[in-house]
Amino acid sequence: MTLKKHTRRKFFQLAAAGTGFSMVYLWDRMMGNQLLTTLHQKIVLPLTRHLVSFYGDYIVINQKQHVKVFSSHCTHLGCLIDKVENDRLICPCHGSEFNLEGDAVKGPAYKPLKAFPFKESSDGQQITIQPAET
């Protein structure tokens, strides 16, 4: 009968891997719950003439009076997108890039940004983002 010899180093490697996977899982669950809570609220935002405006959890794109609203959370790990360069929305965490249609054009993200329905006010000065369907 042969017994495998387990070393202390192997034990710590396995323990570190298990802890790492647990932390990633917990982070994913926490971010998902926070996003669900935030994205079910009715939000009123000013509609500026800027091409891209960042408002916390939302990105408003205003291209020649054609308006789109997206989640500002990267579809890779949920980091907050807060930068635009050369008509691309840039995630500061891992460098994912999205075009102004919300499509992922550079990874590691591969899913498009979540788009939100909204209504524009009659005077065109603000938009109301509709709550997500439950």
pLDDT at residue 38, as a whole number:
54
- How many helices and strands, by DSSP H and E, does the chain display? 1, 10
The answer to whether residue 109 scores a pLDDT higher than 50 is yes
Top CATH class, 42-129: mainly beta
Q: What is the mean pLDDT of residues 31-53?
A: 70
Tell me the percentage of the chain whose pLDDT exceeds 90: 19
Q: What is the mean pLDDT of residues 96-123?
A: 89
The answer to whether residue 77 scores a pLDDT higher than 80 is yes
Grouping H, G, I as helix, E, B as strand and the rest as coil, residue 23 is: helix
Distance CA 119, CA 127 (A): 6
The answer to whether residue 134 scores a pLDDT higher than 50 is no
Q: What is the separation, in whole angstroms, between the first and last Cα of the chain?
A: 58
